[in-house]
Amino acid sequence: MPNKLINVLFVEAPPELYGSSRSLQTLIMNLDRSEIRPVLACNEHNELLNWANLNGIRSYPLSLPGLPPEVPGKRRMSYAVSNAPFEPGLSEWLFLPVREFRDRLKFRGVRDELSKIMSTEKIDILHLNNQVSSNRFAYNIDGSVEIVQHVRDAPLSRSLHASKLASRANRIIAISRYVRDEATVAYNRSISDVVFNPLDREFRYSQRKRNDWRTRWRIEEDKLVFGQAGRFVDWKGVDTAIKAYTKLCADTSFMETTRLVLVGAPADETDYLAQCKCLAEGLPSGQVRIEPFSDDVMGIFSAFDVTLHPIKKPEAFGRVIIESMACRAVPIARNLGAIKELIKHKQNGLLIDDFEELCEGMLELWRDRDAVRKLAECGASSLDVFDASFVARQVENIYREVLYI
């Protein structure tokens, strides 16, 4: 007798195609369609809807408010600290019914949308992407559907409300051991599933794309290109990368033989991008290139020699790290959060702790091109655990266990 086809509804809350959406996209494309039937419901502004339609995946827009923009200087909620006991205060217990009622009221419309989709598509599993707080609208759904919560962000805000919502999930998947430890504390429950973000086998170094992008940027092949790609937000340390590069350019030889390329788009309405541009004004024209976001991520990383990731807060995973290594760009990243799970220091990249170590690491690779080549080769050959097919099989097994199949 053939196995029962498992109908899975994937829910994505953010309004834009962030790294979490790209990881979800890769996962869905690598599922075994003879056993899993994916259905997508996401923010009506997310480009995933168009992608799903083009790939024959049933998809539905959700009238979600999206995520609030990051406001510089705004005090954040307290974050979970691994191994710290979770002890909600009396005020949290008293306020919990209010928060739950507010969620039901605020998300009544989207809850009804989801309920209708689940009924129409005969959904077996509700697979929620991102953390609990981004998907709290879905936890108010009544019914017998099983919930798989995929936690892709950290640090996580600690609240009784979040832990109560998470307790309703049948399974929680963490994208790194760091996230697993954070979620264990923040959600006050044991979590065993660690499934890394997936990377397609086709996502690999391309000499043709490297040549195309370097020609577009007017950068000769003999120049060592330091690069950074992603959203222009303060915590990613774009300004730190520019400051380090500017400092090293005091050495004329370094400046003449290198370039810095920053590719991305601002994630909010702040003037952070303008501030970054100002930092590079003291250098000759073309020395630092700030380019708009492009869908050709593989081409961009292929054109880099070294990828800079001087983050200012712990990274839940670091997708740009594995994408860089797949395209033979050596990562230099600050050792926060899950970064050490991806980079083995001086084997497939460099781990740094501060600004001075960032400068030292950049100088080290500039002085030794042979080291760049060896680190790049090692990085490109150390990605089996992130293989999209392998990751998809892990998730499929979790579905079967949840449904007792």
300-328 pLDDT, tens digit per residue, is: 999 999 999 999 999 999 999 999 999 99
**Residue 25 within a domain:** yes
pLDDT of 138 strictly over 90: no
For residue 11, give both structure tokens.
């829910």
Does 340 score more than 90 pLDDT?
yes
Confidence at residue 85, expressed as pLDDT on a 0 to 100 scale: 56
In a domain, 41, yes or no: yes
Residues 6+ apart with CB under 8 A from 351: 333, 334, 335, 339, 340, 343, 345
The residue segments making up the domain with residue 88 are 6-198+387-403
Distances (CA, A) of 95 to 88, 100, 187: 11, 9, 17
For position 235, what pLDDT does the model report? 93
What is this structure's pTM?
Answer: 0.88
CA distance 161 to 356: 41
- Please indicate, yes or no, whether residues 102 and 11 belong to a single structural domain of this protein: yes
Residue 83 clears pLDDT 80, i.e. is over it: no
pLDDT average, residue stretch 118-134: 89
Residue-wise DSSP of 190-226? ---EE-PPPB-TT----HHHHHHHHHHHT--TTSEEE
User: Amino acid identity of 210?
Assistant: R
Whether residues 397 and 330 fall in one domain: no
State how far the Cα of 96 lies from the Cα of 173, in Å rounded to an integer: 25
Confidence of residue 70 (pLDDT cuts 50, 70, 90): very low
Q: List strands edge to edge, sheet with 193-194.
A: 58-62, 36-43, 6-12, 125-128, 146-151, 171-174, 193-194
The rounded distance, in Å, linking the Cα atoms of 241 and 348 is 20
In terms of domains, do 396 and 296 share one?
no
**Same-domain pairing of 105 and 55:** yes
pLDDT at 46 over 90: no
Residue 318 shares a structural domain with residue 374: yes
- The structural domain count of the chain equals 2
Segment 83-101 mean pLDDT: 76
Q: Are residues 292 and 350 in the same domain?
A: yes
* Residue 357 sits in the same domain as residue 394: no
Share of the chain above pLDDT 70, in %: 93
Lowest-pLDDT choice from 13-17, 244-248, 300-304, 306-310: 13-17
* Residues 163 and 99: beta-carbon distance below 8 Å: no
Q: Is residue 167 situated within a structural domain?
A: yes
Q: How confident is the model at residue 36 (pLDDT cuts 50, 70, 90)?
A: very high
- Average pLDDT (137-159) is 81
Distance CA 103, CA 187 (A): 18
